[in-house]
Amino acid sequence: MNGITAILSAGRFDPEGLLSGKILSLPRPGQPLKEPAKGLRAAGLALSFASGGPAAAQPVRRNGFLFAHNGTFAVSSEILTVLGKYRRFVKGGSGPEILFWQIMKMLDAYGDPALALEMAVDEIRTVWLGRGNRRPGKKAPFDGLTIFLGNAGALWVLSGPGAGRIVWREDARKVVFSGRPGGGENWRTLPADTMIETRIRGRAVDTTIKRYS
């Protein structure tokens, strides 16, 4: 499994040894910004990506969001050409960077992070059908794509077609998603074609699960 881990907590928490590699965090308002590896035990969102190579571009912390994805999508260069005014924000040209700014484009258009993720996936499918499906050796636009997008009070996880490589668990005060889970019980596999939205509500977390087409 890959090295993505995301934790959204409504209170002080212990990262449980799950966070490693490049770690970014967004604490709740009024709390200091410190990375979990340096002792953050506060309410908010923490996200890590433990792999090397292209993973150096992940996680992304921009526009008040943390973002990362696992798996791949086959038409990143084509998506770059349809970013419009958001293309100027892409500096390195990596897949994660392009996907993040595509989602920001959709967020500005639709105003809802969950819908922005769904519309980004839909646009990737559309571009694939128009251009990318002519690529030799590629039979689909996605390979295990799972997208993580969060801010200090909420986390959205979209498990795309052919995914199912992420496991997750929750209790009253936190939710954890991981591609490399630690010990303990109650881990569940995140099915393909599923959206999970988790929000901090006072001292608890509230999770909504839905299927999308």
Q: Poorest-confidence range of 65-79, 92-106, 153-167, 179-193?
A: 179-193
For the cut 90, the answer to whether the pLDDT of residue 157 exceeds it is yes
pLDDT-derived band at 101, boundaries 50, 70, 90: very high
Provide mean pLDDT across the span 77-97: 91
* Contacts within 8 Å (CB) and 24+ apart, 181-186: 181/18, 182/16, 182/17, 182/18, 184/16
Phi and psi dihedrals of 126, rounded to 5?
Answer: -65, -45
Among 162, 177, 165, CA closest to 209 = 177
Percentage of the chain lying above the pLDDT 70 cut: 77
For the cut 80, the answer to whether the pLDDT of residue 131 exceeds it is no
Measured CA to CA, the distance from residue 178 to residue 187 in angstroms comes to 9
Q: Kindly tell me the sign of the dihedral angle through the C-alpha atoms of 105, 107, 57, 138.
A: negative
Q: What is the reported pLDDT for 36?
A: 46
Edge-to-edge order in the sheet of strand 4-9: 22-27, 44-49, 4-9, 174-178, 167-170, 188-189
Instruction: Find where tokens 């694939």 sit.
Output: 128
For the cut 80, the answer to whether the pLDDT of residue 140 exceeds it is no
Amino acid identity for residue 189 in this structure: T
pLDDT per position as a tens digit, 175-209:
999 876 666 678 888 888 899 999 999 889 999 99
Please report the domains of the chain, with CATH numbers, ordered by start residue.
4-211 (3.60.20.10)
Q: Poorest-confidence range of 25-39, 151-165, 197-211?
A: 25-39
Q: What is the reported pLDDT for 5?
A: 85
pLDDT per position as a tens digit, 35-53:
544 444 557 888 887 765 4
Q: What is the pTM of this model?
A: 0.87
- The chain-wide mean pLDDT, for the chain, equals 81
The percent helix, strand, coil of the chain (3-state, each to 5) is 25, 35, 40
Measured CA to CA, the distance from residue 212 to residue 194 in angstroms comes to 6
Measured CA to CA, the distance from residue 55 to residue 53 in angstroms comes to 5
Residue with the bigger pLDDT between 77 and 44: it is 77
Provide mean pLDDT across the span 91-104: 91
Q: Kindly tell me the sign of the dihedral angle through the C-alpha atoms of 174, 213, 160, 130.
A: negative
Measured CA to CA, the distance from residue 152 to residue 180 in angstroms comes to 23
Q: What is the reported pLDDT for 72?
A: 81
